[in-house]
């Protein structure tokens, strides 16, 4: 008996009209993933968010987005070592987005235009004392003020900024921009008491009727080192040299200066020595270039300025007009080991740059506090010390010692202090997955040249002394650079999914409102997922398909 012929055209037409939702094995969903730049930022900035606004020319909104996490975009655009750029997915295509340069542009533009930060919350009636006016203390004060608390910073220095002011040379961070961004905090109502060294925290808390205290004294004491020195008057601490240059009392280092250390402070001290008149500045370092702790770009700048390095060497003795160094060799673990071979080098002065400790001795008598190596204060997950209401952050606590880390600590501490003052649990923030470069689908991207910041010539740097070396971007350059962002992990309404869907199952909701899926029409084919350049769509199993499995 012949098989019955059935006309399937009406059924096929119905499926095309209504989709095959009941038969789907999977369905698309829009997702928000963490871009690698945001994930790498110690200050917790929404980098992708403000780059998106900047590329659209919405500069003030971009600046305000930064201010939600970091009050100092002009500062950070100059001094942050931008780990965000190291993780930027664009680097896999041509070169990372110059995030720091766009941030600096926005910070400088805000100062030029006189923009004020958004209004603070209504007064909470609570008072907080911040001990230390460095980046961590300033950041905490700023965020506390935004949350409605009255804040006073008490700082030992004549000018606020801490290491920003007295540890980073002006050729990297001009003081006009630094003080302008700090001045914005004072305009918000934050009190900064200068030349006030706190020696008894509990007494000052009681006298000022402060409800909480945040300790942010940094680390500004040079580490001690056991080196025989027969002419101690010619041995200086790098951190003190940088401080004295800022206060106009720079020491006479002489023509031949040796700097001992391999971190960022050693590089800054060597470059400062050149600007103070040293014709020969030599950095002595125990390891090789591959293990240098300083940023590679700063080491390159030092070499450009005529500074020399003596690798795999350690100072054994400091005499009058000379030092004795011993040659080192790296073992299998990369640690330097002595060889017994020595050499004598001429030196008018020696600058020690072996790291810093915190001057936390005045905290030792406070009940409940515990201390770790180098004078750091132990804190819990809420950044509170062993004494209720006494918090700490930045370089005086364990962890990475950078400006951006300190600013991130200040923000986190402010939120923890706010929760403690209000007697509520700190708000838990859901953390999404980080998107990787391999998850992106980038056929629509072509190479785009990096907007390069111009720099003073080496000759001009040494002639002008402490004039800023690196220039900022123009508005056009900043907008171009922001447009190079790939928007990793988050939809930017490129319409790729909308154009690719064979079932017209994607509905555009309007600019800034993104899209939604019409699941009555969606067949679960996954074309939208395959075409999304930024991994903002995921395919998930249908509940019915999961139960069948």
Read off the pLDDT of each residue in 41-62 and give the average, rounded to a whole number: 96
CB 69 within 8 A of CB 411: yes
Statement: residue 385 has pLDDT above 70: yes
Tell which wins on pLDDT, 22 or 536. Answer: 536
pLDDT tens digits for range 119-142: 889 999 999 999 999 999 999 999
Mean pLDDT for the chain? 91
- Strand pairing report for 280-284 and 256-260: parallel
Share of the chain above pLDDT 90, in %: 80
Q: Measured over all CA atoms, what is the biggest interatomic distance in the chain, rounded to whole angstroms?
A: 115
Helices 135-146 and 403-422 pack at an angle, to 10 degrees, of: 40
Tell me the helices (H) and strands (E) count for the chain, helix number first: 20, 19
Full DSSP string of 352-396:
E-S-EE---GGGTTSTT--B-GGGPBP--TTSB-SSTTEEE-GGG
Task: Say how far apart CA 47 and CA 488 lie, in whole Å.
Answer: 11
Whether the Cβ atoms of residue 161 and residue 182 lie closer than 8 Å to each other: yes
Architecture of the domain delimited by 36-117+441-483? Orthogonal Bundle (1.10)
Tell whether the model's pLDDT for residue 422 goes beyond 90: yes
Q: Count CB atoms within 10 A of the CB of residue 34.
A: 17
Residue 175 has pLDDT above 90, yes or no: yes
What pLDDT is stored for residue 11 in this prediction? Answer: 37
Give the fold, CATH level 3, of 228-355.
FAD/NAD(P)-binding domain (3.50.50)
Instruction: Find the mean pLDDT for residues 484-501.
Output: 93
Q: Which of 221-225, 309-313, 431-435 has the highest mean pLDDT?
A: 309-313
* 324, 330, 331, 337 alpha-carbon torsion, rounded to 10°: 10
pLDDT digits (tens, 9 = 90+) for 439-454: 998 876 667 888 889 9
DSSP 4: P
CB-facing half-sphere around the CA of 454: CA atoms within 13 A: 6
Q: Residue 48 and residue 34: Cα distance in Å, rounded?
A: 9
**What is residue 265's predicted lDDT score, i.e. its pLDDT?**
95
Domain boundaries, the chain: 12-32+490-548, 36-117+441-483, 127-220+358-422, 228-355
Question: Does residue 55 register a pLDDT over 50?
Answer: yes
pLDDT at residue 495 tops 80: yes
**What is the average per-residue pLDDT within 270-275?**
97
User: What are the C-alpha distances in Å from 147 to residues 72, 117, 182, 233?
Assistant: 18, 13, 18, 49
12-32+490-548 under CATH 3.30.70.20, yes or no:
yes
Confidence at residue 4, expressed as pLDDT on a 0 to 100 scale: 31
Of 16-30, 189-203, 280-294, 525-539, which range is least confident? 16-30
β-pairing, 356-357 vs 221-222, is antiparallel
Q: What is the DSSP string of 271-283?
A: HHHHHTT-SEEEE
Query: 507-546 burial by CB neighbour count: b if 16+ within 10 A, else e?
Result: eeeeeeeebebeeebbbbbebbbebbbbbbbbeeebeeee
Query: What percentage of the chain has pLDDT greater than the value 70?
Result: 94
Q: Which residues 6+ apart lie within 8 Å of 483 measured at CB?
A: 55, 448
Tell me: the pLDDT tens digits for 319-352?
889 999 999 999 998 899 999 999 999 999 999 9
Rounded distance between C-alpha atoms, residue 418 and residue 387, angstroms: 16
Determine contact, residues 172/264, Cβ cutoff 8 Å. no
CATH number of 127-220+358-422: 3.50.50.60
Contact criterion met (CB below 8 Å) for 317 and 303: no
Task: Calculate ∠ Cα 242-221-379, nearest 5°.
Answer: 125
Query: Hey, what are 507's tokens?
Result: 């509905």
The tokens for 109 are 């533009």
Q: How far apart are CA 474 and CA 479, in angstroms?
A: 9
Instruction: Report residue 168's pLDDT band, with 50, 70 and 90 as the boundaries.
Output: very high
The pLDDT value recorded for residue 444 is 64
Question: Which range is least confidently modeled, 356-370, 410-424, 466-480?
Answer: 356-370
CA–CA separation, 129 vs 215, rounded Å?
9
Return the ∠ at Cα 220 (arms to 214 and 225), rounded to 5°. 135
The pair of three-digit structure tokens given for residue 291, joined into one six-digit string = 């293990």
- Closest among 378, 191, 346, 236 to 280, alpha carbons compared: 346
Handedness of CA 132, 135, 138, 144 (dihedral sign): negative
Same fold, 12-32+490-548 and 36-117+441-483: no
Could you read off the pLDDT of 449-480 as tens digits, one per residue?
888 899 999 999 988 889 999 999 999 999 99
CA distance 293 to 290: 9
pLDDT of 285 over the 50 cut? yes
| pLDDT at 231 (0 to 100) | 58
Q: Measure Cα distances from 528 to 124, 442, 511, 513, 539 in Å.
A: 48, 14, 19, 18, 9
pLDDT of residue 233: 64
């Amino acid at each position: 008996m012949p098989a019955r012929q059935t006309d399937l055209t009406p059924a096929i037409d119905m499926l095309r009209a209504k989709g095959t939702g009941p038969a789907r094995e999977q369905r698309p969903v829009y997702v928000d993933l963490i871009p690698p730049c945001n994930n790498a930022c110690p200050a917790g900035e929404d980098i992708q968010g403000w780059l998106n606004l900047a590329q659209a020319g919405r500069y003030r909104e971009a600046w305000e987005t930064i201010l939600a996490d970091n009050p100092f975009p002009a500062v950070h655009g100059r001094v942050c070592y931008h780990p965000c750029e190291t993780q930027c997915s664009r680097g896999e295509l041509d070169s990372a987005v110059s995030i720091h340069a766009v941030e600096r542009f926005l910070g400088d533009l805000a100062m030029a235009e006189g923009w004020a930060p958004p209004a603070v919350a209504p007064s909470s009636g609570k008072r907080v004392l911040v001990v230390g006016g460095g980046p961590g203390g300033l950041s905490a004060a700023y965020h506390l003020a935004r949350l409605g608390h009255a804040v006073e910073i008490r700082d030992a220095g004549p000018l606020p900024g801490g290491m920003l002011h007295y540890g980073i040379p002006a050729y990297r961070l001009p003081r006009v921009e630094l003080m302008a961004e700090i001045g914005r905090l004072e305009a918000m109502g934050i009190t900064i008491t200068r030349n006030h060294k706190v020696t008894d925290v509990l007494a000052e808390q009681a006298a000022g009727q402060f409800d909480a205290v945040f300790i942010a004294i940094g680390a500004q004491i040079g580490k001690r080192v056991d080196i025989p020195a027969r002419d101690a008057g010619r041995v200086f601490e790098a951190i003190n040299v940088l401080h004295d240059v800022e206060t106009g009392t720079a020491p006479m280092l002489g023509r031949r200066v040796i700097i001992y250390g391999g971190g960022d402070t050693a590089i800054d001290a060597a470059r400062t020595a050149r600007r103070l008149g040293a014709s020969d500045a030599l950095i002595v370092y125990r390891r090789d270039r591959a293990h240098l702790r300083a940023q590679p770009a700063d080491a390159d700048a030092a070499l450009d300025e005529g500074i020399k390095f003596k690798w795999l060497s350690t100072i054994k003795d400091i005499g009058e007009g000379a030092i004795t160094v011993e040659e080192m060799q790296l073992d299998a673990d990369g640690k330097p080991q002595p060889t017994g071979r020595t050499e004598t080098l001429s030196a008018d002065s020696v600058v020690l740059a072996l790291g810093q400790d915190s001057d936390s001795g005045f905290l030792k008598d406070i009940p409940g506090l515990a201390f770790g190596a180098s004078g750091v204060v132990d804190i819990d997950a809420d950044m509170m010390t062993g004494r209720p209401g006494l918090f700490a952050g930045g370089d005086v606590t364990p962890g990475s010692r950078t400006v951006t880390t300190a600013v991130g600590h200040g923000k986190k501490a402010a939120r923890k202090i706010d929760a403690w003052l209000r007697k509520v649990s700190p708000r838990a923030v859901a953390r999404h997955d980080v998107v990787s470069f391999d998850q992106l689908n980038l056929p629509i991207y072509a190479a785009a040249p990096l907007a390069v910041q111009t720099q003073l010539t080496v000759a001009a740097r040494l002639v002008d002394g402490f004039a800023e070396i690196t220039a900022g971007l123009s508005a056009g350059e900043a907008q171009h650079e922001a447009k190079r962002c790939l928007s990793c992990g988050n939809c930017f309404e490129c319409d790729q999914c909308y154009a690719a869907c064979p079932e017209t199952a994607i509905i555009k909701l309007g600019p800034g409102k993104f899209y939604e899926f019409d699941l009555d029409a969606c067949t679960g084919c996954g074309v939208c997922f395959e075409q999304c350049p930024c991994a903002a769509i995921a395919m998930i199993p249908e509940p019915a398909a999961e139960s069948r499995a």
